[in-house]
Amino acid sequence: MSLDIPDNASRNLPNGPRAQTLAPQGEPRGPGKVVETRPDALRGLYPPIEPFESGMLDVGNGHRVYWERCGNPHGKPAVFLHGGPGGGCSPEHRRLFDPAQYCITLFDQRGCGRSEPHASLEHNTTWDLVDDIECLRVKFGYERWLVLGGSWGSTLALAYAQAHVERVSELIVRGIFTVRRDELQWYYQRGASWLFPDRWESFLAPIPLEEQGDLMRAYQMRLTHRDEAVRIEAARAWSMWEGSTITLLPDAHLAEAFGDPRYAIAFARIENHYFVNDGFFAPNQLIDGARHLRDIPGVIVQGRYDVATPARTAWELHKAWPEADFYWASDAGHAFSEPTILHWLIEATDRFATTP
């Protein structure tokens, strides 16, 4: 909502909904600030950069995960977690960090982007991805690193941070999504359709009327169908619904990019797989578990008019994790590229660049 590792690196990591941190709770850090004022001068992305190192991480069960490192090899460690699930990383994601200050790790999560096998649903759960993040940290020898994630990336960032509190130096999350049933129902069954009735018709088009009472299940049948044409039709409809609703102002280019068949098939299949399984979480797990984040310096960034991941979830996270600073983007929807959202993300990475 896009090489070898040390033996046994991930075998003892927590799995499934029980993966909660065992780290002791410290004293509260004090309340964070809540900001909605739009800055007069907005920050933008850092200049384009290329990786200084990249490879494929064999994580077992047939999966190989693409990773890359950018910026300063001796800089502060940071990891970026992309959205979707199934979205993959883009060159723009590298540019959220000062390349002189950070050593930035990016990776394509299982089954998407340059990772293999493409669009695979086997051994592909939230807790597999949490293990993969930890494997990358171990591989690069980092004691701790800054974690930044938006949309589904915020989900994964919260899950990782709650499972591995001691490994997170700071946590920045944007477009908060916790894969609770009411969040999913809002976007894929009711609610958002009232705001985008024309685009909702396109989303409904592949699904017969008699199956529209449970659209995620109806899409699951088509996204796993033996006929490739059926899979692609469903994947494009699913993906373009998201691509056409995530910005406050229409962006036809973005919507069309979501419709690319190769991108769409991984994006839609993996998203749907996670969502029909409630993200592989216990009910309300990430909000309840936010109390474990109290000692992690944090920033929450949320578009006020986000339709894909409505602001209520971000506010609930703020109430459960009041020590984090909360930045409203009062003129934005969901996409990280919207100017005020981007500004607050860059401000956050700059602020933490020189902290231990």
Catalytic positions: 151, 306, 334
Tokens, residue 312? 């209520």
Q: How far apart are CA 325 and CA 205, in angstroms?
A: 42
Tokens, residue 173? 């999350």
- 306: DSSP letter: -
With beta carbons less than 8 A apart as the criterion, state whether 171 and 298 touch.
yes
Strand order in the sheet with 145-150: 34-35, 325-329, 298-303, 168-174, 145-150, 76-81, 102-107, 63-71, 53-60
Contacting residues for 246 by C-beta, under 8 A, at least 6 apart: 254, 307, 308, 333, 334, 335
Sign (positive or negative) of CA dihedral 184, 185, 186, 189: positive
- Residue 194 neighbours by CB distance under 10 Å: 8
The whole-angstrom distance between residue 118's C-alpha and the CA centroid of its chain comes to 18
- Residue 81 neighbours by CB distance under 10 Å: 29
SS3 state of residue 105? strand
Q: Name 300's bridge partners.
A: 173, 326
Torsion of CA 270, 258, 332, 273, to 10 degrees: -10
Radius of gyration, alpha carbons of the chain: 19
With beta carbons less than 8 A apart as the criterion, state whether 235 and 118 touch.
no
Strands 145-150 and 34-35: unpaired
From 62, 46, 151, 148, select the one nearest 105 (Cα to Cα): 148
Tokens, residue 342? 């981007």
Tokens, residue 355? 């902290």
